[in-house]
Amino acid sequence: MALNYKLKIAVIGATGYTGLDLVYILSKHPKVKIEYLCATKKIGQNVKTIDKRIKRNLPKISSIKSVNWKLLDLVFLSLPNGEAQNIIKKTFRKYNNLKFIDLSADFRISNPVTYFRNYNINHKAKKLIKHSIYSISEFNKSKISKYRIISNPGCYPTSIQIALKPLISKNLIKCDEIIIDTKSGYSGAGKNFEKKFKHKNLYNSIYAYKIKEHRHVCEIQQELSKLTKKKVKFTFTPHLIPTFRGILSSIYVKPRNNVSAKKIRNVLLKFYKNSMFVKISKLNSQIGSGDVLNTNYCNISICETRFKNTILILSAIDNLVKGASGQAVQNMNILYKMPENLGLK
C-alpha cells in the first residue's frame, strides 16, 4: 500500500559528508518533508550555501534544542559514535510513534561489552538494543517494519557482506580462510580525516591502516557468524586511497568441494534477482568504484585466479551512498512500504 502522506523528518548531523549526502537525497524524495536540519556548527545557515547540489528551499541549520519531537515521524542520526544513543534514549519512550535510522555504530553491535571494547564508549541505552535491527536493506525486507530503531551498517561491512552472506549461508566457501582487502576514499573518515590520518602525501598515496583491530571487524564478525553459529575467520586490511568517495573490496575465498566461480556467480544471481541495487557482472569482469559513484548500487564480479582453489570476489560501492546515506533512505523506503528505489533512481 502506497504511503498517502509525506513523512515529517529531521536530519541530525546534517553538515558532515554523510549528512549532506543524506540531505541531498531526501530533498528530492517525493514522500518526505524535511522539518529540521540540525548540527552544532553553521547554525542559521542555508544548507544550499554549504552544498551546491541542493536546489530546494529547506529549513535552515538549527540546534537540536529547537526540535519539536511530536511533529516528527522519523529521525535520521548522522552523528559521531556515542551521540545517537543518548538522543534515542531520551526520546524513545516519550514519543511512541517516532522511528530512528542511526548511521553511527551505536546500535550495530548487539553486545555492549564488544561495543565498548571497539569504540571505548559505555553504551547508555543498553535496554534499547533489543528494539533495534541491523539492516543491510537486501537482507531485512520482511523484518524491518517490526523495529523502531534501524541501525545502518558501516560502509566496509556493506560491501563485504553483500558479497559473502549468500555464499556462506549456502556453505559454498570455507569460513576459515577468507582474505579481505578493501580500499576506500578518504570521505569515509569524515570531515576531520586529516586529524586521524597524518601520513605523508595524504592526497597522493595509498595507506594501509588499523590492520589488526579496525572497528568494523567486530561488525563483520557478528553478522557473518550468525550464519554459521561459529566464528568466521578472516583477515581484513583497509586502505585509504587518494580519492574522495568509493570503495572496492577484493575478497579471496576458498570454495568447498571444487565449487566453481561460475557456480558462485549463479548463486549470487539467483539470490539477488529481485534486488534492484545489486548488480552481478559477467564472470571475470574488471570493475571499480567508478562504476557506482553517486549511486546506491553494489557491483559484484566473480573472478577466477591462477589457482583453482582460490576465487576472487570484487565488490564496489559508493561509501557515502550505498555505504551510508543511500542505504539509510533505502531502509526508510522499506520501513514505510514505499518502492525501494523511491528517491534513489
Catalytic residue set: 155
The CA-CA-CA angle for residues 150, 330, 121, to 5°, reads 30
* Alpha-carbon torsion, ordered 102, 106, 107, 108, to 10 deg: 100
Amino acid at site 257: N
End-to-end CA distance of the chain: 20
- How many CB atoms lie under 10 A from the CB of residue 176? 11
